[in-house]
Amino acid sequence: MTVHWLALLLALLALAATVDASALTTALAANERLCFYADVDKAGEKIGFYFAVQSGGSFDIDFEVKDPNEKVLLDGVRERQGDYVLTANTAGEYAFCFENDMSTLTEKLVDFDIMVESEPRRAASAQPGQISEHTSSLEESIFRLNGMLLNVKRMQKHFHTRENRGFSIVKSTQGRLYWYAILETLAVIGMAIPTDASLRNSFQVYVLQTFFTKTGRRYKV
């Protein structure tokens, strides 16, 4: 049993050492461009890139991924979210850029993940007769659990994005209803402003007629 736990601990440590990830949330003002960078130690490493627009406008953003030689590996226009895995063919600094160029007033809130993961390599056991058969099965179980945890993490991100977008829509609708109520109140006050009773009555009759005429029906909700 001790051998099993020792092999499990070693495999977990090896798996943890191969992953370098960063989860961030950033706000992009109108016409703003922001870039983030991740270092890749050697060619052949896997890069995971996830993003989702949480709030602002139509929940879309422009993005671009470049390698150390300024070659564009991924790009997109007016994307709401994305989840990509690519192989780094060159060691060095990779750029992940977001651009809110399509908006003139609206700020965008973007949640994103950048993960650099080395390919897992199994090292030969010093004593093949003792723990090699146990290590192989344990490693397979660990990698299977790791995949399941990644799926759970993606589902959490998905629901988190839906919650934020729903909250943003509700907040925007609430603001519109507030200003509609203000304008409606000002219109009622405006109907009562004229001091001449005949002028005030004529104006009120005209407003009421617009609700029952053919041209006024277009304003009904």
The pLDDT value given to residue 115:
87
Domain ranges in the chain are: 22-118, 137-194
In this structure, are residues 157 and 165 in contact, taking their beta carbons and an 8 Å threshold?
no
Burial class (CB in 10 A: 0-12, 13-18, 19+), 221: exposed
Give the span between the Cα atoms of 42 and 48, in whole angstroms. Answer: 15
- Determine the residue type at 46: K
Cα distances (Å, whole numbers) of residue 40 to 34, 45, 54, 123, 145: 20, 7, 28, 22, 25
Q: Which CATH superfamily is domain 22-118 in?
A: GOLD domain (2.60.120.680)
The pLDDT value given to residue 200:
63
Give per-10-residue mean pLDDT for the chain (221 aa). 46 46 80 93 89 86 94 93 90 94 85 77 48 63 72 74 74 81 77 62 69 52 39
DSSP 25-54: EEEE-TT-EEEEEEEE-STT-EEEEEEEEE
Q: How many CB atoms are closer than 10 A to CB 183?
A: 10
The pLDDT value given to residue 12:
47
In this structure, are residues 62 and 79 in contact, taking their beta carbons and an 8 Å threshold?
yes
Residues in CB range of 184: below 8 A, 6 or more apart:
none
Q: How many CB atoms are closer than 10 A to CB 38?
A: 18
The pLDDT value given to residue 218:
47
The pLDDT value given to residue 38:
92
The pLDDT value given to residue 197:
62
